[in-house]
Chain A
Amino acid sequence: QVQLQESGPGLVKPSQTLSLTCTVSGASISSGGYYWSWIRQHPGKGLEWIGYIYYSGSTHYNPSLRSRVTISVDTSKNQFSLKLSSVTAADTAVYYCARSGVPGWGFDYWGQGTLVIVSS
């Protein structure tokens, strides 16, 4: 059974960098064939795709966040990570990691989500 688990600080100060890691079990990122995404959901709002990475390191980002986002992969640890710089209160959200085949084929596995609050 594939499982994804987000981890990282739940509280980040404004202007700092939000850093989260997604640990994958039950599947190997380095096997290829899947894209690994970060998605967020502001409180009471809809889903917003942040970006995805392939095991090779190839990435694609949401244009609205591109200037502040970096997604990386560590195949030795079977993890991928999100860094979002210069955060503001508007970045307060539940952050999910998720897996998809071809990106248009849907996210079939999701992490439980982690709430990140940006506040001083």
Chain B
Amino acid sequence: SYELTQPPSVSVSPGQTASITCSGDKLGDKYACWYQQKPGQSPVLVIYQDTKRPSGIPERFSGSNSGNTATLTVSGTQAMDEADYYCQAWDSSTAHVVFGGGTRLTVL
């Protein structure tokens, strides 16, 4: 089955740029999306189709996807960005949805 791998944690200083990676076999051939989840809340879609931001998501969130790695970048990170982030892709060969294990972003 298809798998997505994320680092368990990433730390960043306020105002700096955080990058969270998501790795999977030929992930660049699929669409990747990203979710932000804060404690006790439902996940929120922050990036879809690799690079697109839903309405209401700040411009400091951006995404890329190439080769075997998708990356979520948070520029000018703020304290409010501290959360768990999950990548997700769809394996078209099986029509199955796959989530990465999640990355905790800590703003120090």
Contacts and interface: CB of A to CB of B under 8 A. Distances in A.
A85 to B, nearest CB: 20
Contacts of B101: 46
Contacts of B88: 47, 106-107
A49 B98 CA distance: 7
A46 B102 contact: yes
B49 to A, nearest CB: 6
A15 interface: no
- Among A46, A48, A62, A108: residue with most chain B CB under 10 A: A46
Contacts of B45: 106-108
Interface residues of A, number: 21
Interface string B87-108: 0111010111111111000000
Contact of A110 (B1, B33, B42, B98): B42
A112 B33 contact: no
Nearest to A103: B90
Interface of B: 1, 30-31, 33, 35, 42-45, 47-49, 54, 86, 88-90, 92, 94-102
22 contacts: A37-B97, A46-B100, A46-B101, A46-B102, A47-B35, A47-B99, A52-B97, A63-B1, A63-B96, A103-B90, A104-B30, A104-B33, A104-B90, A104-B92, A105-B48, A105-B49, A106-B33, A106-B45, A106-B48, A107-B88, A108-B45, A108-B48
